[in-house]
Structures are given as structure tokens and as C-alpha cells.
Amino acid sequence: MKKNRILNLFACALLAAPAALAQTGGTQPVYLDDTQPLEARVEDALSRMTVEEKVRLSYAQSKFSSPGCPRLGIPELYHSDGPHGVRAEVDWNKWNYAGWNNDSCTAFPALSCLAATWNPRLAARYGQAIGQEARYREKDILLGPGVNIYRTPLGGRNFEYMGEDPYLTSALCVPYIRGVQQNGVAACVKHFALNNQEQWRDYIDVYLSDRALHEIYLPAFKAAVEQGGTWSIMGAYNKIRGTHASHNDMLLNKILKGDWHFDGCVVSDWGATHDTYEAAMNGLDIEMGTYTNGLSSESEFGYDDYYLGKAYLQMIREGRIPEEVVDEKAARVLRLIFRTAMNRQKPYGSMTTEEHYKTAYDIATEGTVLLKNRKGKNREALLPLRKEAYRRVLVVGDNATRNLLSGGGSSELKPKDYFTPLESLRAIWDDAAYEPGYVPNESLYAPQAGTPHTAADSLREEAVAKAAGADLVIFIGGLNKDYRQDCEGTDRVSYNLPYGQDDLIRALAQANKNLVVVLLDGNAVAMPWLDEVPALVQSWYLGTMTGPALADLLTGKANPSGKLPFSFPARLEDCPAHHFGTISYPGDGTRQEYKEDILVGYRWYDTKGIEPLFPFGYGLSYTTFEYGDPEISATRMAEGDSLCVSVSVRNSGSLPGKETVQLYVGDEECSLLRPKKELKGFRKIALAPGEEKTVTFTLKADALKFFDDRKQDWVAEPGKFKAYIGASSADLRGEVTFTYE
Ligand code: BGC
């Protein structure tokens, strides 16, 4: 166990370092004494280390570990993916799974689901629980959370991120990070920065304005550092303005370590380092995964051949890299080791506990979004389903039975349990019939030339025939983390659902008026059948508790309260990243320009007057909420002041439910283009039927500021502003006006 590992190393250090003991008069060396201030321990350890030992801290010793300093009893760091559960053990030197029988975990819902909860308390529980599992598995660094901004529905890793809005992402990543780190395990916030697509991720060179960088793509990382206090951060694969992100002077030295005073470690993404001098001088602290493509291929290079290995040492010896650089990097790694591997105060952690399953269940139920719920001429609700109302129940769709935790890339998990939707629905209707309805990997079943009838046709026809004779049809499909379907390393190739699901959903809707469509995925999809289906539930990769959460939501044991963390465009061309042609997405193969600038997601739809299919912040409930008129505490505000915007919300339906009240602010007069409005606050409240609560938001000048590239600073310009209260970005329930002076 790690505790013994540390004690052994300490004993070894005491034997191996008599000189050190002499220096401290026979007492414990300062670096080993955890009652001493952190910086004194770092200084002390550094003063005892050779340059070779300092260098050795900065590059991997296995696929998922980097060394400490054995002579001084300073242990190594164990890293693990992240971000939805603790990944199964991988071989020391290879990507193969090690085949242990004690490394299965709780699979928590994907971060897109956490984002859809709009609930920072759940983010704290998520971080705490996954941190406990990481600690139990003796990990020091958990590779997550992912906080890149959702730019296009084709993005292969959107399911690992928290949507299109920097305020929402910031508000949720901070408690997640704090929760993880309470366990003496470092969060490693990724991927810094602008890894907003998977296509050509290793070399695509992103060009964007300073405003877009600071207003849209950096705020969550900044919050992770300044508010979350993250101990490590992962450099991304892509280039930014000509230099790889993992050794980018502007990003790492100037912004992260300079402006934000980050005192932790920059860890490269696996295989994201490309140059010794740049890596050394431009802020990388630990190099991981070099000479692999991140996931699969290997080479014969040894770890000392890493860019921060012997080539780095050589440059130091030649005086091309100053010793302060070496000391600074080593100090950061030592700080990280003291905070994690050598933290003797940390709790023991725990694995797959009932409490962790409850946390996973709560996030899954609160994150699922009810998008549509009406049928027939009277437009009555189809959901929630009453067990007694339906005798012959048919479940259709591959995602009802598929293990959605394997695949997708580095976030794939080996859960101890995975409760499928089908088994949980059969716990309600024990004789529910099942039909796959489509073939998830059609190439495997490709028709022979001249064969008119494919396997896919047969599956669709069987499902539709059975649907006609059923009382209720529940379709469970979506994407599935297979190649190009929410998967690392590749983007999606179409906005439509794959495997003929659009045709199937249409045919099911024609065959049966009681059709519930449930989508499990991490992205917006086209919905050409939307008008034809009465009930639509947007769910995500929900982890271990997928089945129980969905069954409870569909039958009303849980009331949906998720709201979309990103907009669903009606057509892909409406999406701002796609509006400006291929140079904007996916780029020309080497270079890419973010031409939509600051107008990402709802900022674009709002400002340009384009109606999305479903707007950011949207989600229904089985109950209804009435909003009162918002009130404002003052109509003038100056720097240093704050003002309050309050609104009362009443549950006007007959079931208990939760509502997320959203506050947006719009700048009415500005010398630069600003979005029509931007999210600046939200509060999720629980209301019993008939209950009313007042929500109060405090606005400070910071909420009015934009990044002025002319001044390279955040500025609030005097003038008129509006504060909007909304149930979504498009469903505004009131507004108040004030001036900033
Ligand atoms: C991914 C990272 C991941 C790392 C280690 C990379 O390919 O981009 O997110 O943490 O592999 O598995």
C-alpha cells in the first residue's frame, strides 16, 4: 500500500542521507517535516538535490507515473484518468489494460451531465466522491476535470466538458476540484487550452482574438486556478498562434504562472511535447506520454529520451538553459508531491460505496433534461409514465443494453456495476419486450452486392411491427462513444444521429402515438423527427446508475430538472463555428481561425437573431414555475458598488420540483461588439407544490466587464445595462435596467 511505500522511502532516506541529518542537528530534515511551511520544505529538498535529480522529476517513468527522488525518500507521482471515474490500471510500459481484478470503479455521469444539473453542490459531491476513489486506488493526480468550451456539436470530446458557457463551467469546476483535492489527490484541469475539436488535434494551429481567448476560452481555467486552487493543469495537444499549447510561453509563463500566480505543475498531455528548449523555457513541468500517439502506438524510445530527459540535462550542462529554470520546475513538482503523495494528513479514501452510487444517481437524475412532453390534440403530457396505464411495453434501441462506459478514449471506465436502462425498465414492467431496432456498427453487417434487404432493414421492420402492437414504446438511442460518435481523437462527421436512427424514430412515431424518445449522448444532434414525437428526454452518459436514474425519471419517481449546458442548433450551418466555412471549422489541416470570435453558443443565436432548436439553459419539469417581476435594489452602480436583482418563483404545478433561475446581463451601449446578453448568475431551487421562494443575485462591476484588447485589460464602460431573469437563455421572464457610472 502507498502508506508503506512512503514509510519505506522515508526510512531509506534517513539511512541514505546522513549529511542531511547532520545539517539539522539530528532532527528530522525540514522537507520531511509536514509541520513546516510548504515553501520551506520545497527549498530544503531542492538544496539537497543534484541537478540530475531535479531533471529526473520532470518526465515520466511509466505510462502513468513520474518519479520522485528515491535517494531522499521522495516518492513518485501516480496519475490516472479521469474525469468520470478512476480508470482501470494500465501496464507499466504499454497501453494494455493490466487485467487486475480490484480496479473497478464507480462510473460517475459524464461532465456534460454534471453541467446540465446546474448544481454546484452536486459538483462538490462529484469531486469529493471521485477523489475518494482516486485516493483509495493510491493515485496522486486525477486527470480531470475537462473544462474546454463546447464550440461545435461535432466535437468528439464534448461529453467530457461542461458546455458552451464560461460562467457555468467555472461555477461547476471549482467545487469539483476542491472536492477532489480534499483527498490529497491533485486535480489536473485539462486541456489547457483551445482543444475544442479532436480533428487534427495534435497539430491544428488555432488563431483567435484576445477577446475570445479571455472572455470565452480561458475563464474556466482561471477559475480553476484562482478559486479552485488546482494543483496541476494539463497542456493541450494543439498549437496556439504557432506554438504547441504544452510549451507555449504566452499561455503557460505569461498568463497561467504570471497573471494567475499558478504555483502547481503543468503536465503535458500524453505525447503533446515536441521540443526540448521550448518545453524547458516555456513552462512545461512534467512531460508525459512522449513517443506515443496518446492512446495506442508505441516506440522503442526509453524515458530518458524524452524531451525533458537527457537532452534537457545536456542543455543545462551547456548553459543554454539557466539553473533557475531547472529549480523552478523541480520546485513545482516537489510542491505537488508534498501536497499529494507525501501528504500524511490525507484520508484513506473509499471505493464503490453506497454513497458514491447515490452521488452518481443524484447527478444522473438532476442532469437529465426533459425537452418535450406533449401529445395529441389536447397536448396532454405523456410523461411521467404510470405503470398501470401500460400493459404491453416495448423498449427499442441499442443504447438500452450497450455498456456505454467502454469506448470514447481515455475517459473509458471499468465500472463495478453498470445497470442498463432495459434491466431497470424490466424491474417496472417485467415482461417488457426489447428490439435493438438498428445496427450500431453497420459496416459489420454491410449488405452483399445485390442484396436489397439489409440487416438494418430487418431490425427496423421488426421493431416497427412490434411497436404497432404495443401500448407504449420507449426508444433509447443516441451516440455511443464508438469511432466518430463522441470519441477522443475523432470528431463526428454528421450532425444527424447515426445508424439510421432518424428513419427508425419516424417509423416508430407513425406506428405508435405513445412514443418516448430518450437520447444518451454527449452532444447536440439534428432532430428532423421532432414534431412527430410526443416526448423527448435528453440524457447523457450516465455511468453506473444509468438504468435506475432513467427509470425513475420516466415514471416520475424523480422529476427532471436538468437544463441544457449548450444550445442545439436547428441546422449545423447555424452553429457559429460552422458559419464561416472550413477555415473556422475544422481548419485547413494546419491552421484554424475562430471567426465567430466571442459569439459562441447562445451569444451568437441571441445576437444574430437565429432561433436554435433548443436554447442554452432550456429544460422542462413535470411541474410548472411562475416567475414574479424582477426587482433591482438600485438603478445606478459604480466600481466598488454592488446591486441586487431579486425575483420570486412559485411552483404552480402539483408535484415537487427544482428550477434553475438564470441571470443574464446585457450591455446596451459599448464601444466594442458585445453579445446581447451573458450568463452572470444562476440558482437552483427546490419548491414544493404551491411554494414560493425569492432568489436574490448580487451584481458587481466584474459582471459588466469585457476584455478590451486595446487596453489588454478587463473594462466596464459607463452606460446602460439590462439584467434579465430567464428560465432559459430564450425564455426571459423579466428584465430590469440600470446604469454604470
Ligand atoms: C488525453 C488526455 C488523457 C491522457 C492520458 C490523452 O490522449 O487527451 O485527456 O488524460 O491521454 O490517458
Q: Distance from first CA to last CA of the chain, Å, rounded?
A: 61
Tell whether 572 and 427 lie within a shared domain: yes
pTM reported for the whole predicted model: 0.95
CA of 565 to the centre of ligand 1 (A): 23
- 62-to-22, 57, 181, 658 alpha-carbon distances in Å: 35, 13, 23, 47
Q: Which of 44, 269, 521, 708 is labelled catalytic?
A: 269
* Residue 422 to residue 405: CA distance in whole angstroms: 16
Query: Which residues are within 8 A (CB) of 475 and not within 5 positions of it... i.e. 6 or more apart?
Result: 395, 396, 397, 437, 504, 505, 508, 515, 516, 517, 518
Distance CA 492, CA 499 (A): 13
CB of 81 shorter than 6 A to ligand 1: yes
380 and 410 share one domain: yes
CA distances from 408 to 347, 379, 418, 519, 640 (A): 31, 38, 16, 17, 46
For the record, the C-alpha cell of 358 comes out as 447515490
CATH code where residue 671 lies = 2.60.40.10
**CB 198 near ligand 1, within 6 Å:** no
Site to probe by mutation for ligand 1, drawn from 80, 90, 143 as the one with most ligand atoms within 8 Å of Cβ, is 143
CA 587: distance to chain centroid?
24
- For ligand 1, the distance from its centroid to the CA atom of residue 591, given in whole angstroms, is 23
What's the CA gap between 692 and 659, in Å, rounded?
11
Cα–Cα distance, 21 to 541 (Å, whole number): 54
Burial 211-223 (b: 16+ CB within 10 A, else e): bbbbbbbbbbbbb
* Strand 625-627 to 636-637 pairing: unpaired
If asked whether residues 308 and 382 sit together in one domain, one would say no
Q: Do residues 162 and 212 lie in contact, with contact meaning Cβ atoms separated by under 8 Å? A: no
Whether 409 and 494 share a structural domain: yes
> What is the spatial distance between Cα 538 and Cα 477, in angstroms, rounded to a whole number?
10
* CA–centroid distance, residue 698 to ligand 1 (Å): 38
Could you give the CA distance from residue 588 to residue 198 in angstroms, rounded to a whole number? 14
**Are residues 359 and 281 part of one domain?**
no
The reply to whether ligand 1 has any atom less than 6 angstroms from the CB of 270 is yes
pLDDT at position 205 is: 98
Q: How many CA atoms lie within 13 Å of 1's alpha carbon, on the beta-carbon side?
A: 6
Find residue 240's DSSP bridge partners. Answer: 206, 243
Domain assignment present for 658: yes
Give the C-alpha separation, 643 to 593, whole Å: 38
What's the chain's length in residues?
741
Residue 596 CB less than 6 A away from ligand 1: no
Same-domain pairing of 274 and 423: no
User: Bridge partners of 90?
Assistant: 97
Domain identity same for 389 and 468: yes
Number of domains in the chain: 3
Counting other chains too, the contacts that 52-55 makes at CB distance below 8 Å and 24 or more residues apart are 52/313, 54/326, 54/327, 54/329, 54/330, 55/308, 55/309, 55/312, 55/313, 55/316, 55/326, 55/330
Amino acid sitting at position 98:
A
The pLDDT of residue 99 is 95
Q: How confident is the model at residue 26, as a pLDDT?
A: 57
Domain-ending residue, one of 553, 579, 605: 579
Residue 160 within any structural domain of the chain? no
The ligand 1 atom at the shortest distance from the C-alpha of residue 295 is 7
| Same structural domain, 427 and 558 | yes
Q: Measured in angstroms, how far is the CA atom of residue 710 from the centroid of ligand 1?
A: 36
709 is catalytic: no
CATH number at residue 450: 3.40.50.1700
Q: What is the model's pLDDT at position 292? A: 55
Rounded-to-integer distance, Cα 67 and Cα 43, Å: 19
Give domain status of residue 442, yes or no: yes
Cβ(161)–Cβ(193) under 8 Å?
no
315, containing H or E segment: helix 310-317
Beta bridge partners of 625: 651
For residue 3, the tally of other CB atoms under 10 A from its CB is 11
| Host domain of residue 315 | 1-75+232-339
Specify the pLDDT at position 440. 87
User: How far, in Å, from the CA of 230 to the mean position of ligand 1?
Assistant: 18
Task: Specify the residue with its C-alpha closest to ligand 1, atom 9.
Answer: 410
- Ligand 1 atom nearest to CA at 294: 7
Q: Single out the residue in 579, 612, 642 at which a domain terminates.
A: 579
3-state secondary structure of 58: coil
d(CA 364, CA 289): 33
Q: Would you say 170 and 162 are in contact if contact means Cβ atoms under 8 Å apart?
A: no
The DSSP output letter for 188 is E
| Residue 98 within any structural domain of the chain | no
The Cα–Cα gap between 410 and 90 comes to: 11
Q: Is 269 in the pocket of ligand 1 (CB under 6 A)?
A: yes
- Atom 4, ligand 1: residue with shortest CA distance: 270
Give the span between the Cα atoms of 741 and 732, in whole angstroms.
Answer: 26
According to the model, what pLDDT value does residue 155 have?
98
Kindly state whether residues 425 and 548 are assigned to the same domain. Answer: yes
In Å, what is the CA distance from 166 to each residue of 10, 214, 600?
A: 44, 10, 10
pLDDT the model gives residue 93: 85
The per-residue pLDDT for 445 is 37
Q: Which residues, other chains included, contact 227 with Cβ-Cβ below 8 Å and sequence gap of 6+?
A: 170, 174
235 CB within 6 A, ligand 1: no
Q: 701 and 571, same structural domain? A: no
Residue 419 is assigned to a structural domain of this protein: yes
For residues 237 and 382, state if they share a domain.
Answer: no
| Segment-wise mean pLDDT, segments of 10 residues, the chain, 741 residues | 42 43 65 96 98 98 96 98 96 90 97 98 98 98 98 98 98 98 98 97 97 98 98 98 98 98 98 97 96 52 89 98 97 98 97 98 98 84 97 98 94 97 98 95 50 79 98 97 92 95 97 97 98 97 98 98 98 98 97 98 98 98 98 96 97 98 96 97 98 98 96 96 98 98 94
* Domain boundary residue, one of 289, 308, 339: 339
Query: Is residue 217 in some structural domain?
Result: no
> 391 in a domain, yes or no?
yes
Question: Does residue 383 sit in the same domain as residue 328?
Answer: no
**Is 12 contained in some domain?**
yes
